[in-house]
Amino acid sequence: MHNRHLITGGRLAAGFLLIALFAVYFYSSTPTVAQEVVIPEEVADAERGLLLFETRCAACHGATGGGDGEMAPDSIQPPTVFADPAFRLTAVPADMFDTIVNGRIERGMPPYGSVTNSNPLSDQDVWDLIAAIYSFSTPGASVQQGRELFATEIDMEGDFELTNLALWATQSNETIVEQFRSEGVLVNPELAEDEVLAIVDFARGMMSYTYAEPGGSEEPIETAVINGEVTNGTTGGVAGGFEASVRAFTQDLQEVYTESVMVGEDGRFSFTLENIPPDWIFLVSTNYEGFQFSSAPARLDRETPEVEMLVKVYDTTNSADMINIEQVHSIFNFAGDVLQVTQFYRYNNVGNTLFVGTAGEAESGTVEIMLPTGAQAVTFERGFGSMDSFIPATEIIETEAGWADTLPLRPGAGVMDLLINYNLPFEDGMLFTHPLPYPVARGTLIFPDVGVALEAEGWQLQGQDEMGGTSFLSYTNNDLAASDSFTMILNGEPEVVMDTQGNVLQPRNENNELIIGGASLLIVVGAAVYLFQTWRNPSAAIGDDPEELLEMIVELDEAFENGEIDRSEYEAERAELKEALLDVWVE
């Protein structure tokens, strides 16, 4: 487990540089669009918004909206401080909606809308986030004061439409304060300014969103009930006659409680818990045919102390007929006397069974991975679902045919993402032949235009662009489904090559002044991280399996306690794993 820390350094930086190029070519060309005012269809949920905020916004804006997130020092401009009570005075929800959907790239704010983000927020997600932001900015004491004043100081018989969601979506609190005074909403128009604002704070929280006190109450839930059902995704029926376990985790994802019960033949199970802290996260899991299956995480509160948690299990298969590769993206780079290759693979399991390898034992290998003959310095990294990072895929083993994963492949689209890096010797040209063990729907290639000729049947040139002083060509191939390999012929010597740190060298042209180095590389890599976020689609990869994520957290904790990993690596990876799990939880 101690090898599962995030890789840093030259090769990763160069990899992200190349990924950025791919994103620029194929995804970042889509322009942001002017967002029409979207009126919420229902009252926004600040509780849910706070969960979304933790996974999508806290890294920059801070856990409580203080603008003090871990990425805040690296922001182009300081993140907005939502916790400042002054923020809610002039903030206009419709403008906030537009900012969240379309972003403000000049300020370092990424877009989260469906046009520009492959893991977009829905309209309701955005309104829930806005509700959370108002909860950060609105003092609880003001809401309480407004609640008391609202009952006696608001003329409910007037023409002012307090329940009109469009009003609250398009007006700031300051504007509504003035409207309350000028349009006869107040029984006593001489109320002090802070009193009218308190009424608006309460009214906004009642009419347009459910106010949530950030941090919530610590009072335990006296009695909580977790009911659920185990279904078989292969047969469509229920499964029972074995144990199910509920596990509880703190917000820091420390396991603090576990209990097991038998699942009935009708697939049903039930747990009754006493004096449960409201911030615990629960997970129900079961072992079926030797494999662990889990529910989505859930949390209880005093208003809803009962929850239904569903677990879906699958029968196993050793047939690979249902496996295909949705995408193979290849990025070439000439580094010294080698061709450096970075490839992204996305796998689908279109069947309804758990693939455990053709040998019938996952430990012997499940998904096959084949690379060109002579590949050196091979590394594998596994994607985190909707996250923007990878961890070393230490479960991949070398086989006689190449390599293979040892994790079973669950049914679904995009159930596994792999990032693979390797080198091939290069001098004056080469024949690049890549075997394909499964049908491939689409291939793409980014190729540096540095004097090496490329011949590749079936690959269509899409365009040429420049980044960091080097031109790159982009190719696509949508006709790989019936192929068991693809071949490219490379001829010539590169006029410009990069070292392993991503710096451009000029061994063949002393007059060439195109150098990427120092701060320039950092800027490009920074852009790569953002562009890579927009490139990747959310998937049900390892990051979408809460049981695997929790097991990785437990293993990571044990590795740290045993001195196998230093504190900085431990804290960084644990934060990544926690974010991945919370992201799954919100969804």
Q: Chunk the chain into consecutive blocks of 10 residues (it has 587) and report each block's average pLDDT, rounded to whole numbers.
A: 32 42 42 60 85 86 89 86 94 93 83 71 90 91 90 83 87 93 89 93 86 69 95 97 93 85 97 90 91 86 85 96 94 90 94 95 95 95 63 90 94 90 93 96 91 92 77 91 94 71 44 28 33 32 56 68 71 70 55
490: Cβ contacts below 8 Å, ≥ 6 apart: 339, 426, 429, 430, 431, 432, 452, 453, 454
List beta partners, residue 218. none
Task: Please state, as a whole number, how many other Cβ atoms lie within 10 Å of the Cβ of residue 88.
Answer: 23
Instruction: Give residue 508's region: left, alpha or beta (phi > 0; psi -120 to 50).
Output: alpha
Q: What is the largest CA-CA distance in the chain?
A: 87
Instruction: Write the burial class of residue 103 (CB in 10 Å: 0-12 exposed, 13-18 middle, 19+ buried).
Output: buried
Q: How far apart are CA 189 and CA 88, in angstroms?
A: 22
Q: What percent of the chain is modeled with pLDDT above 70?
A: 77
How far, CA to CA in Å, does 449 sit from each of 51, 443, 446, 466, 476?
45, 19, 9, 9, 16
Q: How far apart are CA 60 and CA 73, in angstroms?
A: 8
145 φ, ψ (degrees, to nearest 5): -60, -40
Express each pLDDT in 108-163 by its tens digit.
Answer: 888 888 665 557 888 989 999 999 999 999 998 898 899 899 889 988 777 788 88
Give 29's DSSP letter.
T
Give the pLDDT confidence score for residue 509 in this predicted structure.
33
Give the pLDDT confidence score for residue 385 in this predicted structure.
47
Give 364's DSSP letter.
G
Helix (H) or strand (E) holding 381: strand 376-383
> Strand 306-313 vs strand 221-232: parallel, antiparallel, or unpaired?
parallel
Complete edge-to-edge strand list for the sheet that includes strand 460-467: 390-392, 376-383, 412-425, 338-349, 323-335, 443-448, 470-477, 460-467
Q: How far apart are CA 248 and CA 279, in angstroms?
A: 10
∠ CA 458-461-466, nearest 5°, is: 150
List beta partners, residue 298. 282
Give the pLDDT confidence score for residue 503 in this predicted structure.
55
Contact 468, 354 (CB under 8 A): no
Contact 132, 50 (CB under 8 A): yes
Comparing CA positions, the residue from 518, 521, 447 lying closest to residue 488 is: 447
Q: Which two tokens stand for residue 335?
A: 């580094």
Give the pLDDT confidence score for residue 547 in this predicted structure.
61
Comparing CA positions, the residue from 391, 408, 418 lying closest to residue 577 is: 391
Express each pLDDT in 286-295 by its tens digit.
Answer: 999 999 898 8
Q: How far apart are CA 140 and CA 142, in angstroms?
A: 5
Q: How far apart are CA 423 and CA 428, in angstroms?
A: 16
467: Cβ contacts below 8 Å, ≥ 6 apart: 20, 21, 24, 524
8: Cβ contacts below 8 Å, ≥ 6 apart: none
> Distance from CA of residue 415 to its chain's centroid?
14
Q: Which two tokens stand for residue 268?
A: 């049903």
> Distance from CA of residue 160 to its chain's centroid?
42
Express each pLDDT in 501-517 by its tens digit.
Answer: 455 544 433 322 222 23
Give the pLDDT confidence score for residue 392 in this predicted structure.
83
Task: Please state, as a whole number, how many other Cβ atoms lie within 10 Å of the Cβ of residue 353.
Answer: 19
SS3 87: helix
Express each pLDDT in 365-391 by its tens digit.
Answer: 999 999 999 999 999 998 764 444 577
Token pair 């809401």 in the structure block, residue = 143
pTM (two decimals): 0.63
Give the pLDDT confidence score for residue 526 in this predicted structure.
34
